[in-house]
Amino acid sequence: MNRVLANLWAKTSKEGAAGWHPLSLHMLDVAASADAILAREPESTRKRIGAVLGLEWQEARAWILLVVACHDLGKACPGFQCKWENMTGMDSGRSPNTEINHAFVSQVALSELLQEMEWPEELADLVSDAVGCHHGERASPNALNNLAGDRRAIGRDPWAEARRGLFEAVLDIVKPATIPAKQTLNGPDFMLLSGLTSFADWIGSNEDWFPFGNGEWGQVWS
């Protein structure tokens, strides 16, 4: 993993110290939490989660972990990174929009990336929507349209490439093999995936269980 991706932060110390947790590690923390949650559930739950994508659980598992990990993919944008300190070296522009909802950026970016993986467009949109509302707020169509053109918030091409790099890093770990068979999500499917993401994020954000990464963490990716 290159130093640009390594220097994207997800969380900072609440005590005012210089501590911070890498975005890539937080994404994996939350994916691992989702995996642990489902491992403790009865087989019927895993079967039901797999059916969200029209797959058997073993085929769906990698995709589910990937999309849950990407719940915070949108933190890789100047609007979020400049809330604290942009350590990436990428141009954040003169006045980045730090009021941006990073989860909506996650939604837009993830849908595009899943479609590039040959997912059906509607399924990619709705899965990304379910993951993107993990803080309890769902983006309106107008909000998404406005976001797509807000370079102050989402950044220019290097930022899009950083989001792609994070996506591909997780993809390389989970290695999904079978394209989902579903074309869309129904209401219960949507709520199930959204609930799993929210629960996993709540667990994966516990600093006692997932302490901040240190300066040497990037060696893991070499």
**Would you state the pLDDT for residue 1?**
62
Rounded to whole angstroms, how far apart are CA atoms 121 and 102? 22
**Would you state the pLDDT for residue 145?**
74
**Would you state the pLDDT for residue 97?**
81
**Would you state the pLDDT for residue 218?**
40
Which is nearest to 115 in space by CA: 72, 159, 179, 65? Answer: 179
Query: Looking at the whole model, is its pTM more than 0.75?
Result: yes
**pLDDT, tens digit (0-9, with 9 covering 90-100), for 104-133:** 899 999 999 999 999 999 999 999 999 988
**Would you state the pLDDT for residue 153?**
79
**Would you state the pLDDT for residue 217?**
42
Q: Give the ranges where the chain is alpha helix by DSSP (H).
A: 3-6, 23-39, 43-52, 57-69, 78-81, 102-116, 121-132, 141-148, 151-154, 157-174, 187-204
**Would you state the pLDDT for residue 112?**
93
**Would you state the pLDDT for residue 100?**
84
- Check: CB of residue 64 under 8 Å from CB of residue 94: no
Low-confidence ranges of the chain (pLDDT < 70): 1, 15-18, 136, 214-222
**Would you state the pLDDT for residue 94?**
84
**Would you state the pLDDT for residue 213?**
81
**Would you state the pLDDT for residue 70?**
97
**Would you state the pLDDT for residue 172?**
95
User: Which of 112-135 are b and which e, b meaning 16 or more Cβ less than 10 Å from the residue's Cβ?
Assistant: bbbeeeebbeebbbbbbbbbbbbe
**Residue 116: both structure tokens together:** 């590039």
**Would you state the pLDDT for residue 164?**
97
Domain segments of the chain as ranges: 3-205
Rounded to whole angstroms, how far apart are CA atoms 174 and 12? 27
Fold observed for domain 3-205: Hypothetical protein af1432 (1.10.3210)
